[in-house]
Copies of this chain bind each other. A is one copy, B any other.
Amino acid sequence: MKVGIVGIGHSKFGKRDDCTVQELAFESFKEALLDAQLTQKDINATVIGSSPEYHKQRSIPGVIAEYLGVNAQPTYLTEAACGSGSAAIRTAYSLIKSGLHDIVAVVGIQKMLELSTPEILALMGRVGDVQWESGFGITFPGYYALFARRHMHMYGTTEEQLAMVAVKAHKYGAMNPKAMFQKEITLEKALSARPVASPLKLFDCCANSDGSATVILAKEDLAKKISDTPVWIEGIASASAPISVIRREYVDRVPSAIVAAKEAYKMAGVGPDDVDVADVHDCFTIAEIMAYENLGFCDIGEGGKLIEEEQTYIGGKVAVNVDGGLKAKGHPVGATGVSMTTEIVKQLRGEAGKRQVDGAEVGLTHNVGGIGQYCFVQIFKR
């Protein structure tokens, strides 16, 4: 029995002080219901993907379920840092495959910008090991700067190549009406921006954001009834890695991503060359370059060259983050994995408009939690 996606919804990402967390959830949930032509009564359970610490309201599934109108159906939250949304999809998938539910809505949501940037930075850092690492002051940009320096040292990756990832993200973000930043940038602008954690500069870093995204999953027979264009989850894998950077064999790659990708490809019966369109976790530009390599789109060390040759643009070897990515779309932590999935569904349905990858048949999401202590890789076919 397969599990298909029959409805998708996406809120505007950005600073959303116009609404509460439950209203923000409803913004994408109602779109997904309309997309699937379902009502609340059809939803057997709801899984919320979110990192709880950002919200004044604790245990948000309670207020969200009430506001969405899905009581008395079950609901709870999954958390895996920035991978929380994909953890929710994994949970929903297994709730359906197990026979417990037929139709499950997954709402990825985060409302971070009630907090100030220093508060967010402090919270983010505490996703690293508090006892031995982040407790001594390293921040998220600091971790990724370390990864970038190592990658540059090992493979000759350049600051220009990092900046090229940002240029691509903003090019496509400008075509995405739901993106936080909808304007293009030049390579010069990216390279001359102020440093955040050298070698990472302002445009190498994604933005904290508010936002929600919803996907509705259904078991195979119902998915075919509900939708003329169901998108099937064909590979769904996850892995973990030591949170402590000091305990990792490599810091120029994300070990959990390599393990998860291998398993997802095996399950889906495809390889990296079969992927037409991918949404990968570009929390920093170096993260997208490592993703190319860890997913097998190129060899280890070749990621910089891949972006330089524009092989991850539409028309290249594999179109990556043509919704703008975390970089231009914004990164409301718990929403991100679900947002990625909505983009892949659009692409496989052929509904991505100006950003459409012609004839896309196989799509992939790659959603990293924290500094790679978790990674979720999911593969979709139409």
Q: Residues of A at under 8 Å CB distance from B?
A: 20, 45, 51-53, 56-59, 61-63, 65-66, 70-81, 83-84, 87, 90-91, 93-100, 123, 126-127, 129-131, 236-244, 247, 255-256, 259, 369-370, 373-374
Contact = CB atoms under 8 A, between A and B. Distances in A.
Given A53-B52, A70-B240, A81 B59 contact: yes
Given A62-B370, A63-B129, A243-B62, A238 B74 contact: yes
Contacts of A62: 81, 127, 129, 240, 243, 369-370, 373-374
B72 A373 contact: no
Stoichiometry, as copies per complex, reads: 2
Given A57-B130, A72-B240, A241-B72, A247 B78 contact: no
A74 to B, nearest CB: 4
Contacts of A241: 71-72
Contact of A61 (B65, B130, B247, B374): B374
A62 to B, nearest CB: 4
B59 A79 contact: yes
A347 B3 CA distance: 38
Contact of A65 (B53, B79, B87, B373): B373
A200 to B, nearest CB: 22
A123 B79 CA distance: 18
Contacts of A123: 58
Given A76-B80, A77-B79, A240-B72, A370 B247 contact: no
A78 B256 CA distance: 20
A53 B57 contact: no
Q: Which of A62, A70, A97 has the most B CB atoms < 10 Å from its CB?
A: A62
Contacts of A74: 237-240, 374
Given A52-B52, A66-B242, A75-B80, 8 more contacts: A56-B130, A59-B79, A59-B127, A63-B130, A65-B373, A66-B244, A72-B239, A76-B374
A51 to B, nearest CB: 7
5 contacts: A57-B126, A58-B123, A62-B129, A71-B240, A74-B237
A340 to B, nearest CB: 17
B126 A56 contact: yes
Contacts of A95: 94, 98
A373 B71 CA distance: 9
Contacts of A70: 240
B100 A80 contact: no
A73 B79 CA distance: 16
A374 to B, nearest CB: 7
A255 B73 CA distance: 11
Contact of A75 (B130, B247, B374): B374
Contact of A76 (B61, B78, B93, B259): B78
Nearest to A88: B76
A97 B95 CA distance: 9
Contacts of A255: 72
A236 B100 CA distance: 9
